[in-house]
């Protein structure tokens, strides 16, 4: 277990990416092929373009095949569904990620449900969400699984701890709560309608903030010694025409009270891509009937 108040997500993610790269080498020796990840981007959203470029680069660095599909912003739902079906049928593709959000003419849920659950490295398909909720093997969404890895690295056994997850999205809040329940935490899911959020947070040994509201969680809400995981990435005005990234937690006031806290940036953010690579390797091992390497 690591020590120190600030959790270095970037360092943990670098270590995980190294372990994935070793696992990929072993997979290639045994399977005679490299794992493949297909990433689909529809339109030209600048933030999504940056994410997709980083994912492709990290995939190649891990020794895997990267297939990038860039479609115009006016792509029809039928054309996108046809591409997803083609990737489902492609034996060289182990993981499929359709970057969200999608343009308004496309029904996101229909696209998520078209992806083969065995290639759903995002873990967004209802089959995978349902399997996670039922305690079965499944793909788990990358960001919450990354948060859980950081928590276990810091705290070891989580059994019996009080955990509060702020946010109830399908991408972070709900799967995060399921993962913490699986670790035998007592889990509360708070959200925009929660009454007296400060009082709920004050009871928690673990706080996971995933609401998308800059610096919303204040230091004096925390139980002293609590472990704080900040999933928020909010761009705010920093004066003089500049902007900077802040989390959902007010870092300056939280740091003196928290037992440990993830910073923004370099906290949870780097974990998401590292876990995506991990999920892709795990998917490839499952598809080829090979054991998943230990330590992933
Ligand atoms: N957009 C922002 N985060 C994610 C993610 O984890 N997966 C996908 N597919 N789209 C995203």
In this prediction, residues 129-146 reach a mean pLDDT of 97
Q: Crossing angle of helices 126-133/173-182, nearest 10°?
A: 30
From the CA of 100, how far away is ligand 1's center (Å)?
Answer: 5
From the CA of 295, how far away is ligand 1's center (Å)?
Answer: 25
Which listed residue (120, 122, 205, 230) is catalytic?
122
Portion of the chain with pLDDT greater than 70, in percent? 99
Active site residue 55: yes
Mean pLDDT of the chain: 97
Active site residue 94: no
Q: With a 6 A CB cut-off, is 122 part of the ligand 1 pocket?
A: yes
Q: What pLDDT is attached to residue 73?
A: 98
Q: pLDDT per residue over 160-176, tens digit each?
A: 999 999 999 999 999 99
Q: Does the structure show a pLDDT above 60 at 3?
A: no
Beta carbons within 8 Å of 240's beta carbon, 6+ residues apart:
none
Spans of all domains in the chain: 32-118, 141-270
Q: Does the structure show a pLDDT above 70 at 12?
A: yes
Provide DSSP, the chain: ---SSB--HHHHHHHHHHHHHHHHHHHHHHHSS--EEEEEEES--HHHHHHHHHHHHHHHHTT-EEEEEEE-TT--HHHHHHHHHHHHH-TT--EEEE-SSPPTTS-HHHHHHHS-GGG-TT--SHHHHHHHHTT------HHHHHHHHHHHHHHS--TT-EEEEE---TTTHHHHHHHHHHTT-EEEEE-TT-S-HHHHHHT-SEEEE-S--TT-B-GGGSPTT-EEEE---EEEEEETTEEEEE-SB-HHHHTTT-SEE--SSSSSHHHHHHHHHHHHHHHHHHHTTPPPPTT-
Q: With a 6 A CB cut-off, is 228 part of the ligand 1 pocket?
A: no
From the CA of 107, how far away is ligand 1's center (Å)?
Answer: 15
| Ligand 1, atom 9: closest residue by C-alpha | 99
In this prediction, residues 88-108 reach a mean pLDDT of 98
Q: Which of 97, 113, 146, 167 to mutate to test the pocket of ligand 1 (most atoms within 8 A of CB)?
A: 97
CA 276 to ligand 1: nearest atom: 6
Provide DSSP, 125-190: SHHHHHHHHTT------HHHHHHHHHHHHHHS--TT-EEEEE---TTTHHHHHHHHHHTT-EEEEE
Q: With a 6 A CB cut-off, is 279 part of the ligand 1 pocket?
A: no
Q: pLDDT class for 286, splitting at 50, 70, 90?
A: very high
What CATH number was assigned to the domain covering residues 141-270? 3.40.50.720
User: Which residues sit opposite 187 in a β-bridge?
Assistant: 163
Active site residue 99: yes
From the CA of 273, how far away is ligand 1's center (Å)?
Answer: 10
Q: Which CATH architecture has domain 32-118?
A: 3-Layer(aba) Sandwich (3.40)
- Terminal Cα-to-Cα distance of the chain (whole angstroms): 16
Q: Does the structure show a pLDDT above 90 at 1?
A: no
Q: With a 6 A CB cut-off, is 142 part of the ligand 1 pocket?
A: yes
Q: With a 6 A CB cut-off, is 97 part of the ligand 1 pocket?
A: yes
Q: Which of 122, 174, 210, 270 to mutate to test the pocket of ligand 1 (most atoms within 8 A of CB)?
A: 122
Q: pLDDT class for 4, splitting at 50, 70, 90?
A: low
Q: With a 6 A CB cut-off, is 121 part of the ligand 1 pocket?
A: no
Portion of the chain with pLDDT greater than 90, in percent? 98
Distance between CA atoms of residues 67 and 227, nearest Å: 38
Q: Do domains 32-118 and 141-270 have the same CATH topology?
A: yes
CA 272 to ligand 1: nearest atom: 6
Q: pLDDT per residue over 194-252, tens digit each?
A: 999 999 999 999 999 999 999 999 999 999 999 999 999 999 999 999 999 999 999 99
């Amino acid at each position: 277990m690591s020590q120190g108040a600030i959790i270095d997500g970037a360092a943990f993610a670098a270590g995980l990416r190294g372990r994935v790269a070793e696992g990929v080498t072993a997979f290639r020796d045994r399977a005679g092929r490299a794992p493949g990840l297909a990433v689909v981007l529809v339109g030209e959203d600048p933030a999504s373009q940056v994410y997709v470029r980083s994912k492709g680069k990290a995939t190649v660095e891990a020794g895997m095949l990267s297939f990038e599909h860039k479609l115009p912003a006016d792509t029809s739902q039928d054309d996108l569904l046809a591409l997803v079906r083609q990737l489902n049928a492609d034996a060289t593709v182990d993981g499929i990620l359709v970057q969200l959000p999608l343009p308004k003419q496309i029904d996101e849920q229909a696209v998520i449900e078209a992806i083969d659950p065995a290639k759903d490295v995002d873990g967004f398909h209802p089959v995978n969400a349902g399997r996670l909720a039922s305690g079965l093997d499944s793909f788990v969404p990358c960001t919450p699984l990354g948060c859980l890895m950081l928590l276990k690295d810091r705290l070891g056994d989580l059994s019996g701890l009080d955990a509060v997850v702020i946010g109830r999205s399908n991408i972070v809040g709900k799967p995060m709560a399921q993962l913490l329940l699986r670790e035998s935490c007592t889990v509360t899911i708070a959200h925009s309608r929660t009454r007296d959020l400060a009082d709920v947070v004050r009871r928690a040994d673990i706080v996971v903030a995933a609401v998308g509201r800059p610096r919303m969680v204040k230091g004096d809400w925390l139980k002293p010694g609590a472990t704080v995981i900040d999933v928020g990435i909010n761009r705010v005005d920093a004066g003089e025409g500049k902007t900077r990234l802040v989390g959902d937690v007010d870092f300056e006031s939280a740091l003196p009270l928290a037992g440990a806290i993830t910073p923004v940036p370099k906290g949870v953010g780097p974990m998401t891509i590292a876990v995506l690579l991990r999920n892709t390797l795990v998917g490839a091992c499952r598809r080829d009937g090979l054991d998943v390497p230990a330590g992933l």
